[in-house]
Amino acid sequence: MRRTLALLGLALGPVLVLGVFFVLPVAGMVARGFWPDGAFDPGGVLEVLTRPRTGWVVWFTLWSSAVATVVSVLLGLPAAYALHRLDLPLRRVVRAALLVPFVLPTVVVGVAFRQLLGEAGPLGGLGLDGTPVAIVAGLAFFNVAVVIRSVGAAWEGLDPRPAEAAAALGASPAQVLRTVTLPALRPAIVSAASVVFLFCATSFGVVLTLGGLRYASVETEIYLLTTNLLDLQAAAALSVVQLVAITALLALAARLRTVPDPAVARRTARPRAVRRSDWPQVAATLALLALVAAPIATLVVGSLRVGDEWSLGNYRALQTTGEGALLVPVTEALATSLRTAVDATWMALLLGLVVAVVVTRRSRTPGERRVRSVLDGFFMLPLGVSAVTLGFGFLITLDRPPLDLRDSALLVPVAQALVALPLVVRTIVPVLGGIDDRQRQAAASLGAGSLRTLATVDLPVVWRPLLAAAGFAFAASLGEFGATAFLAREDRATVPVVIFRLIGSPGAMGYGMALAASVVLAATTAVVMLAVERLRVPSLGAF
Amino acid sequence: MRSVRALASVLTAGVATTALASCSLVGGGEEEENANGSPGKVVLVTHESFTLPEEVLDRFAEESGFRLEVRSAGDAGSLTNRLVLTKERPIGDVVFGIDNTFASRALDEGVLADTDVERPAGAAAYDLEASDDLVPVDTGHVCVNVDDTWFEREGVEPPRTLADLTEPAYRDLTVVPGATTSSPGLAFLLATIAEEGEEWPAYWERLLGNGVKLVDGWSDAYQVDFTQGGGQGDRPIVVSYDSSPAFTLDGDGGTTTSALLDTCVRQVEYAGLLEGAANPDGGTALLEFLMGPEVQEALPDSMYVFPVRDDVELPADWARFAEQPETAYDVDPAEIAENRDDWLREWSDVTSR
């Protein structure tokens, strides 16, 4: 009992933060739907659930996200293998490059994709613009990096000996994969797939831009209902559906993730030379690289064109406000972005670390275990809620003392930290969970205090994954658009917000500058990810 | 013992959090001192397209003595809804950017306070019938634009009217931003409703049958699909603004596009004092400033719209190439207020069938 209390005590900080900056705003918006004129009227919300359009929207969201998740996993697995187990030249650079789409603003990627797939584009002949295929391709483009990084990390940490033993006993490579490797990777694949599914199901820009308005997902519908029609009952109904579905998904994922022996292998397999049998995986990786590179190449080429000539003019213009299209030059926005990302990163790390410690300590009773797994899932929820709901919720709930935070400069980094938090938690938890608790007991029995134990047992194992999580959080914060656009003050706009402005301005420079700013953002991200790669994280982290 | 230690870690974590938070890289600083609406500042709530040159914004501080703070997000619809949801505790003193399609919602919901601001020359023509609490600031027209060079090259006569767009000659040539996701898209829908009356869904079906392409927003339509946009698409007919031809100069003293002046619908953007504003005096000063010559002169270059004052000079390119229609489709704001949601739902049904 006392242990459970201590556990809750330690969890209090992060729970409080999430309570104020997530539960309160979302509950506030949902409550507006349930109490339309101050009187409780759940009937109105229930009525929305029976509309045919609601069913249609939910169904589209489910199947498009599921297909996009499967595509991401299928594309990501060979690349995860090739980039983490094989000694390919430049593999660190490729790994960093594959993460770039993850942070690009969807507006820009949408435009780049449409230039490729549109009627006038090089792939226009396929007639994909405005089809569900384009939506799925866009979603996979954004999320395949999550699969590569998390599954790749687990694959690198996989003991190669069981597979070798199976092969020596006569198993074919396919049999080894099916009976030895994939079962061992299951937790990582399930974790990655669940995160990808969450990202897909709540993606907003991709569905609107690439679907040509013919398709509506739960997220775009909530946006339309809230910002345009002001139909808060319907928005609340869909938010509740979203929350219920995501809670179910997280519970399922947690169940599928569990393995009998989660102990982390301390030894990571050294990448080996490429053999003939690896060629399919290498070819698949190269194909994936080409798929990811194509829209980015469109961006780079576009950013280097001024009129009909090649020029660096768009990049030089980044020091200006784009003929008055912006209040601050893009360079200043980049500085703001970096500062905000630093803040968001330390917040996400601090919270994530506490959460990870709480979640991974060995449970003595079933009740305690339940508390831990509920907490684990709780901190994933921000991924699954519409940024519009959160943004409007901030405005209507954090508006009076003691929580008069609407004007606070901390709101943007906090919101970004909430988005990055699940990534941090999912990176650190498997590592901390793999530490044998007997080591801590040994340290304690030798007289070490709890802090000392933390410093000598946990920290040496966890610091590299922690740095990796920092890189992830930093990148996620750099690319965050939905909540930031809603909350950022005009003089403190971040790069994605500025890009959105530029691309919507009819001035001659706007479009080129938006592309140039996207390239700069992509390059900044790639540099950050490369720096993280340099730390040679022993790849124990997995989602 | 264990719980004592755990408690100690909690405290340490708490202290660490506070310590780190206080040396936040972005937080703190000058902003905090005025956090509670001291009389020294005016907060302007606006949409994401708001921008004015720094010199102009600085002029406001010099002239009025109030510091201006801008909070912008979303489009005109999202802006109006934010104000409706926060009307008990307004998020600023002044709103700018409510247009004629959303004006009635803001007025009906009691978001705006009474004001008594004098209109400069020409501005009164844009006043709403329902109330003069919303002060007109700028105006513009949403019109179908065509790429003249394309039509010349192909030897095809460009379209002139909305009905022309459904002709087989213009099959697969038009791109339109969505009415539910963009404000020019909504304006275009209103134009078709004004033209076709009750029959508008049938018109849209003919439009879709003629291969019209629907996209998310203006930037997608103009920059990606329009032949004269940044991305050089392949559709020479697009829904845009009457000012757009001033941005497609060919370098030889001409422009490559033109607006079809028989397809236009008028948009007017309004400003107003928010009910319960912390600084009503500063707010009134800002309203007057928005209608003053400095802002009005800066509007074309900053926000691509026409001033409501008729005594300010337009930029040279605008005077030559941004032609305003003599007459435009007009939908009564009261009718818009009553039907907007139904129209949008019906439009969604027609277009996503």
Point out the least confidently predicted range of A103-112, A308-317, B288-297.
A103-112
How many Å apart are CA B12 and CA B5, to the nearest integer?
Answer: 10
- Structural domain includes residue B298: yes
pLDDT at B39 (0 to 100)? 56
Residues B104 and B46 in one domain: yes
Report the share of chain A in percent with pLDDT over 90: 11
Q: Dihedral of CA B193/B198/B200/B201: which sign?
A: positive
pLDDT for residue B206 is more than 90? yes
Where are the alpha helices (H) located in A379-479, listed in sequence order? 387-397, 411-433, 437-445, 450-453, 459-479
Of A122, A160, A55, A103, nearest to A294 by C-alpha is: A122
Of the pLDDT bands very low, low, confident and very high (cuts 50, 70, 90), residue B10 is: very low
In a domain, B51, yes or no: yes
pLDDT at A529: 77
Which pLDDT does position B34 carry in this prediction?
Answer: 41
Instruction: Mark yes or no for CB contact A451/B180 under 8 Å.
Output: no
- Phi then psi for residue B5, to 5 deg, are -65, -45
Residue A542 lies in a domain: no
| Whether the predicted pLDDT of A538 surpasses 60 | no
- Give the per-residue pLDDT at B13: 44
Whether the pLDDT of residue A303 is over 90: the answer is: no
**Domain match, B178 and B253 both:** yes
Element housing B137 (H / E)? strand B135-147
**Residue A404: per-residue pLDDT:** 79
Residue A134 exposure: Cα atoms within 13 Å on the Cβ side: 31
DSSP code, position B121: T
Place of tokens 């384009």: A134
B47 touches chain A (CB under 8 A): no
The residue-averaged pLDDT of B257-276 equals: 94
pLDDT above 70 coverage of chain A, percent: 93
CATH (domain of B209): 3.40.190.10
Q: How far is A153 from chain B (nearest CA, A)?
A: 29
Q: Does B132 lie in the same domain as B94?
A: yes
Q: Is residue B236 part of a domain?
A: yes
Count Cα atoms within 13 angstroms, Cβ side, for B340: 25
pLDDT at B12: 45
The CATH number linked to A530 is: 1.10.3720.10
Burial class (CB in 10 A: 0-12, 13-18, 19+), A154: buried
Contacting residues of A for B91, CB less than 8 Å apart: 395, 406
Per the CB < 8 A criterion, the answer to whether A29 and B30 are in contact is: no
Res. B8 pLDDT band, cuts 50 70 90: very low
Q: Are A456 and A527 in contact (CB under 8 A)?
A: no
Q: What is the mean pLDDT of residues A269-273?
A: 75
Residue A10 confidence (pLDDT): 80
Question: Is the backbone of residue B253 left (phi > 0), alpha (psi -120 to 50) or beta?
Answer: left
A388 has pLDDT over 50: yes
pLDDT above 60: residue A150: yes
Residue B19 at interface with chain A, using a CB cutoff of 8 Å: no
Q: Does some domain include residue B3?
A: no
How far does the CA of residue A79 sit from the closest CA of chain B (Å)? 32
Give B 220-279 residues with CB within 8 A of chain A: 220, 222-225, 229-235, 240-241, 243-244, 247
Q: Which two tokens stand for residue A329?
A: 């030059």
- Among A14-28, A120-134, B150-164, the range scoring the smallest mean pLDDT is A120-134
Is the CB of A517 inside 8 Å of chain B's CB atoms?
no
Mean pLDDT in residue range A348-366? 84
Chain CA centroid to CA B86, Å: 20
**If contacts are CB pairs under 8 Å, which of residues 299-358 in chain A contact chain B?**
302, 321, 323-327, 336, 339-340, 342-343, 346, 350, 354
pLDDT higher at A118 or A74: A74
| pLDDT at residue A138 tops 50 | yes
Same domain, yes or no, for B94 and B195? no
Domain presence at residue A30: yes
Q: Are residues B162 and B216 in the same domain?
A: yes
Q: What are the φ/ψ torsions at residue B260 (nearest 5 degrees)?
A: -85, 105
Burial profile B28-58: b = 16 or more Cβ within 10 angstroms, e = fewer? eeebeeeeeeeeebbbbbbbbbbbbbeebbe
pLDDT at A484: 83
Using pLDDT thresholds of 50, 70 and 90, give the confidence band for residue A378.
Answer: confident
Q: Has residue B134 been placed in a domain? A: yes
Residue B196 has pLDDT above 90, yes or no: yes
Hey, which residues does A310 pair with through a beta bridge?
A305
Q: Is residue A87 part of a domain?
A: yes
A1 pLDDT tier (thresholds 50, 70, 90): low
CA angle (B104, A391, B80) in 5-degree steps: 10
Closest-CA residue in chain A for B79?
Answer: A227
B232 lies in the same domain as B295: no
Q: Which of B7, B224, B244 sits opposite A6 (nearest CB)?
A: B7
**Residue B332: CB atoms within 10 Å:** 12
Asked if B80 and B59 touch (Cβ cutoff 8 Å), the reply is no
Cβ-nearest to A325 among B26, B51, B84: B51
Domain annotation covers residue B29: no
| Predicted local confidence at residue A259, as pLDDT | 59
Question: Using a CB-CB distance cutoff of 8 angstroms, which residues of chain A are in contact with residue B29?
Answer: 409
Chain B touched by A491 (CB under 8 Å): yes
Pair B310, B175 in one domain: no
B282 and B331 inside one domain: no
Q: Is A203 or A262 the better-scoring residue by pLDDT?
A: A203
CA end-to-end distance (rounded Å), chain A: 30
Q: Which chain B positions have a beta carbon within 8 Å of A474's beta carbon?
A: none
Instruction: Say if residue B345 is in the same domain as residue B260.
Output: yes
According to the model, what pLDDT value does residue B114 have? 92
Domain-embedded: residue A285:
yes
Cβ contacts from A onto B, under 8 A:
215
Least confident of A333-337, A374-378, A535-539, B206-210: A535-539
User: Does A541 fall in a domain?
Assistant: no
pLDDT higher than threshold 90 for residue B149: yes
Whether residues B48 and A5 touch (CB distance < 8 A) is answered with: no
Within a domain: residue B132? yes
Mutation test of the interface with chain A: which of B18, B20, B24, B349, choosing the one with the most A Cβ atoms within 10 A?
Answer: B24
State yes or no: pLDDT of B15 exceeds 70: no
> What domain range is B295 assigned to?
37-139+268-321
Interface of B with A in 129-168 (CB under 8 A): none
A-proximal residues of B, 67-86, CB under 8 Å:
69-75, 77-78, 81-82, 84-86
Q: Please tell me which residue, B16 or A243, carries the higher pLDDT value.
A: A243
Structure tokens at B187: 């304006």
Q: How many CB atoms lie within 10 A of CB A509?
A: 19
Angle, in degrees to the nearest 10, between helices A24-34 and A387-397 = 90
Give the per-residue pLDDT at A291: 85
Cβ atoms A431, A541 nearer than 8 A: yes
Same domain as B245, residue B290 = no
Q: Is A540 within a domain?
A: no
> Which segment of A415-424, A440-449, A497-506, B48-57 scores lowest on mean pLDDT?
A497-506
Alpha-carbon span A177 to A184, nearest angstrom: 10
- Region A257-284: mean pLDDT is 71
Look-up of token digits 């002949």? A125
Residue B25 lies in a domain: no
Helical ranges in B70-127 per DSSP H: 76-85, 103-108
Domain of residue A48, residue span: 2-534
The amino acid sitting at A511 is: Y
Residues B121 and B153 in one domain: no
Output the pLDDT for position A164. 86
At B6 the pLDDT is 46
* Letter string b/e over residues A328-358, b meaning 16 or more CB atoms within 10 A of that residue's CB: bbbebbbebbbbbbbbbbbbbbbbbbbbbbb
Q: Which of A80-94, A159-173, A199-213, B184-198 has the lowest mean pLDDT?
A: A199-213
Structural domain count of chain A = 1
Average pLDDT, chain B: 85
- Tell me, yes or no, if the pTM score tops 0.90: no
What does the pLDDT look like over B68-113, one tens digit per residue? 988 887 788 889 988 998 888 898 999 999 988 888 889 999 999 9
**What is the number of domains present in chain B?**
2
Residues of A in contact with B3 (CB under 8 A): 2-3, 5-6, 9
pLDDT at B113: 94
Interface check A295 vs B, CB under 8 A: no
Buried (b) or exposed (e) across A433-455, using 16+ Cβ within 10 A?
Answer: bbbeeeebeebbeeebebeebbe
Would you say residue A443 has pLDDT above 70?
yes
Model confidence at A78, pLDDT cuts 50, 70, 90, reads very high
pLDDT digits (tens, 9 = 90+) for A486-533: 787 777 888 888 888 887 776 667 788 888 998 898 888 888 878 777
Strand B135-147 with B237-241, pairing: antiparallel
Among A166-180, A341-355, A489-503, the least confident range: A489-503
Q: What is the pLDDT of residue B35?
A: 42
* Contact assignment for A110 to B220 by CB distance below 8 Å: yes
Is the domain of B52 the same as that of B106? Answer: yes
Query: What mean pLDDT comes out for the span B301-321?
Result: 89
Residue A535: the pLDDT is 66
Q: Give residue A402's pLDDT band: very low, low, confident or very high (50, 70, 90).
A: confident
A277 or B269, which is more confident:
B269
Query: How confident is the prediction for chain A on average, in pLDDT?
Result: 82
- pLDDT surpasses 60 at B32: no
Decide if A84 is inside a domain.
yes
